Amino acid sequence: MVRKAMNETVKSRSILLFGVLAAISASTLRAQNAASPPPMNPQEVRRNDEAKTLIDWTPEQIRDFPELEDLQPAESQQNLPAILSAVGERVSALFDQFPNMASVEEVRSGPCDEGLRKKCRVTYRGKFNYLVVRRTDSDPLMGEYRTDLKGRPVNYRNLGHGKIFLTYGFATTPLEHFHPQNQSVCQFRDFGRQRVGERETEVVGFVEIPGKYPWPTEWRHGTVVTPVYSQGLAWIDPATHQIVRIETFLLTPPPAGDLERDTTRIEFSEIHLHQAARALWLPTQVVVDVWLHKRHFENVHKYSDFKLFEVETRIGPVMEK
């Protein structure tokens, strides 16, 4: 069993680009009365109201989306409530029993050339301990942390001489939209069935409702902080109601700054942890593509060697004496 002490708190799904914290998303599972949607100015309201979401995709748009190749379209939305109920129960049970966990994370990162075939150059490789920790026994919120292989906090500004971005916050992604507590602040669509490898899956789309979803990504440009909402697709095993793949992308890019697009693709696998009460479905590979400053960057994260993790100190900021 891995034993480490931590005193640095981070937030989920963050993007560190060129040594600067570019975007932050807070952890998501909270009591409904513990968070309220961030305020939006009239321009933000209009921008989000005018956004075209995957809820409204036409059959032609679905056929043109590469990840939905060979989809068997749903004839109606009749099965959607039952799918959401079953997946919600699965997600809720998973995180009620989620143990503190550590894994080895391998990251490769670099710029990509656009063209008929995407070609990405690896300009940085790194290996870390990746930690997922429950903050308290009564609080289902998960903290996600990264240390070097000796258990020391990572100095992000020095990675790759400050010329890379490094993303994290993937283990609890299914919690954000499919937990029963959060489904009322999202929109959903049953796209139909699709085979993923040897597995038949249900494909469900989701959209964070602007002005209602309490925990959107925050885009920081100078002193301006803008809520940025996401949408995406989840591939769900109809027999076990387990999410096996998720892809997210922006509803609309922020008006300030140079963030144009952002996609995250997460592959989940069944992991059997020693002494854990049950197997867990955890990310084993994550691919993050960001288009920023008119350039395309890609991060590929791979996770292995999963272990239980025992926290020996209180998680929180270091207190000065």
Note the pLDDT of residue 174: 67
What value does the mean pLDDT of the chain take? 79
pLDDT band at 2 (very low <50, low <70, confident <90, very high): very low
Q: What average pLDDT does range 9-37 have in this prediction?
A: 36
Residue 296 predicted with pLDDT over 80? yes
> Using only C-alpha atoms, what is the Rg of the chain?
19
Contact 24, 218 (CB under 8 A): yes
Q: Give the separation between CA 51 and CA 45, rounded to whole angstroms.
A: 10
Note the pLDDT of residue 171: 76
Residues 134-179: pLDDT tens digits? 766 555 557 788 999 998 888 877 777 666 767 777 877 767 899 9
**Residue 220: strand pairing partners:** 225
Note the pLDDT of residue 99: 82
Residue 14 predicted with pLDDT over 70? no
Residue 314 predicted with pLDDT over 90? no
At 316 the three-state DSSP class reads coil
More confident residue, 313 or 20: 313
Note the pLDDT of residue 193: 97
Note the pLDDT of residue 55: 95
Q: With CA atoms as reference, report the closest residue to 101 among 305, 294, 285.
A: 305
* % of the chain at pLDDT higher than 70: 77
Q: Give the separation between CA 69 and CA 52, rounded to whole angstroms.
A: 21
Residues 197-230: pLDDT tens digits? 889 999 999 999 988 888 787 777 667 777 888 9
Listed in sequence order, the DSSP H helices in the chain are 42-49, 59-64, 80-96, 173-178
Q: Given the DSSP bridges, would you call strands 72-73 and 186-196 parallel, antiparallel or unpaired?
A: antiparallel
Q: What average pLDDT does range 9-16 have in this prediction?
A: 34
Contact 244, 199 (CB under 8 A): yes
**Residue 19, Cβ neighbours under 10 Å: how many?**
18
**Residue 43: strand pairing partners:** none
Q: With CA atoms as reference, report the closest residue to 168 among 271, 25, 268.
A: 25
Virtual torsion, Cα 247, 253, 256, 258, nearest 10 deg: 70
pLDDT band at 26 (very low <50, low <70, confident <90, very high): very low
Both tokens assigned to 12: 């989920």
Q: Give the separation between CA 206 and CA 84, rounded to whole angstroms.
A: 11
Note the pLDDT of residue 138: 53
SS (H, E, C) 66-80: HHHCCCEECCCCCCH
The domains of the chain are located at 10-29+40-309
Residue 299 predicted with pLDDT over 50? yes
- Return the amino acid letter for 103: S
Virtual torsion, Cα 186, 140, 302, 3, nearest 10 deg: 170
Residues 86-136: pLDDT tens digits? 999 999 888 787 888 899 999 999 999 876 677 899 999 999 999 888 766
More confident residue, 177 or 313: 177
Note the pLDDT of residue 154: 86
What angle is formed at CA 247 by the lines to CA 9 and CA 307, rounded to 5 degrees? 45
Q: With CA atoms as reference, report the closest residue to 268 among 208, 197, 206, 318.
A: 197
Q: What average pLDDT does range 279-286 have in this prediction?
A: 89
Residues 56-87: pLDDT tens digits? 999 999 999 999 999 999 999 999 999 999 99
Note the pLDDT of residue 269: 92
Q: What average pLDDT does range 305-317 have in this prediction?
A: 65
